[in-house]
Chains A and B, each alone.
Chain A
Amino acid sequence: MKHLEISGQAEPVASAPPLLSINELSVRFRTRSGIVNALDRVTFEVRPGEIVGVVGESGSGKSVTAFAVMGILDAAASITGGSIHFEGRDVLGMNRRERDMWRGSEASIIFQNPRVALNPIRKVGQQIADVLARHSPASPSAIRQSVLDALRQVRLPDPEKRQSAYPTELSGGQCQRVGIAMALACSPRLLIADEPTTGLDVTTQAVIMELIRDLARSRQLGTVFITHDLALAAQYCDRVVVMHAGHVVETAAVSELFSAARHPYTAKLLRSVPSLVDRLEELQAIEGSLPDLRRVDLPFCRFAERCERRISLCDSAPLSLAPIGPNHCVACRNPL
């Protein structure tokens, strides 16, 4: 692999108390065909001003983690263990009303498909006004002003005119800007971006990602950036959390993860990214697929059945994420 160049990091203070800390979070889904162990003891932290990338294949539990933090999991899901703390407050212990007020004003989410996430029959300005009105009592004129400010801040061209547009009248990139404006309207301190650029063109993607990064830096927003695109994570994140089949398998500073991955899965994932290799021959697929999470006999390490470095210890005892270097944790018995 070639020498890696990581751009755009202003080191967030590692010693600052975490804004969000997820500790041993486990989530299950009841389905007709059995219980799905979607998340198992997921643990990571986000500091103010830090962009944490959560990467993994589809089905690895990235979005479930985001939804669990926001409290918008499907009714079939239940949190079976662990805790989520926001500035020291127990998020899972909040009652419904507290959680509803917390969501939107202190923690916000940007969804994957902006066209689907927006209400198609309501003007985009009104949709932002709805969020503002719910969280802060203000006069209609103050809210109108805040809507314009929110749209200006995401650099939507001609906000006075565009605020009266319906989502169908805007391009995909413009819709996502509205989604970001809505998420940031009440000045939250935590932003979760769930694949915010999927379906957008690369040029638009670059603009949206730079916008998210600038806002995270200027407002000291703790940001969780969920993506399956490792190159994108490398370019815009400070730290990366790698997930596989509901487990966090590795967390590290972005430069370290991409230059010295320790978990066999991370290493394999990196070798399957087209932008990291020069020739097609160097590209490698990961054999096998994610284990069926409905299985009752799930192995301790859920990657073991696809792993070339499997040793007898892998199957003998439960595994948890352990430090292996400064700011670098890995869940593996036989790390690289």
Chain B
Amino acid sequence: MTAYDNVLIRVENLVMHFPIYRGVIRRQVGAVHAVDGVSFDIHQGETLGLVGESGCGKSTTGRTILQLYKPTAGNVYFKDTNLVKLRTEPMRLMRREMQMIFQDPYASLNPRMTVRDIVGEPLLAFNEASGKQIDERVKELLHMVQLNPDYSGRYPHEFSGGQRQRIGLARALALNPSFIVCDEPISALDVSIQAQVVNLLEALQEKLNLTYLFIAHDLSMVRHISNRVAVMYLGIIVELADRNELFANPLHPYTQALLSAIPVADPVYNEKRHRILLEGDVPSPVNPPSGCRFRTRCPIADAFCAEKTPEWREVRPGHFAACHKI
């Protein structure tokens, strides 16, 4: 832990509920509890992996940190600034420091804009450069993400998925941010291209001293790129630990099940290993189960788990988990 002393992002009890309206007068009948009290720190220069199944709130967490949604409760500190309290204009200026790359490289680039316009737009929005300067900077950025700078006049449809993801990355880097939320940046790509993009992300992190929040459902990739990993289930973090610690000694039954579900490219190993198969799907976040949220699918849950919400505690140094059975 000592390597990452300065906390860059501190998230405190972040809650994000999306209201559900029904009927003619649009009365609020409930809320989707997308994120329900999440706290963690991200240190300068670190990659924090955030994993979980679809619908567990990991993308919402990423977006709420960037204030793309107004959180229902909780605080997000960037260095010493509480982003939740910022007004529109100061927040807009803060966005230079934090950027995002999206999952779908096909939907996140405007098909009617050239690469130069896409990558140059942040510069224009913050009056960082104009005219020729933008051309220069765009070329530099494309070079940085290992794309041919001569392609700046082309449109997104002329590129493959991996190349588009690089364009998205160049756009995110345009304003020299210090923090990037990577929202499943590789899950839409082919295996060999995934490795290219991950290697690029790592190289850029080293070169530009970037801090990543890496959201993914592919645990093996998360393990590869992250320093620490947080596991989310139905709006809460159930376990957080150093990468090697988490993968070697998963404590929470959900983490154990998740790890055992990873397909491993080794037929001999597959036959030996013990797999924990989870039944059913993630319950609806509109009505999360009482007590421990995982109890409906948990192989070791008992009556007590339904009554009391497990406490978030440090089980070992740097290894946090929330489960009654640990």
Question: Do they bind each other?
Answer: no
> B residues within 8 Å of A by Cβ?
none
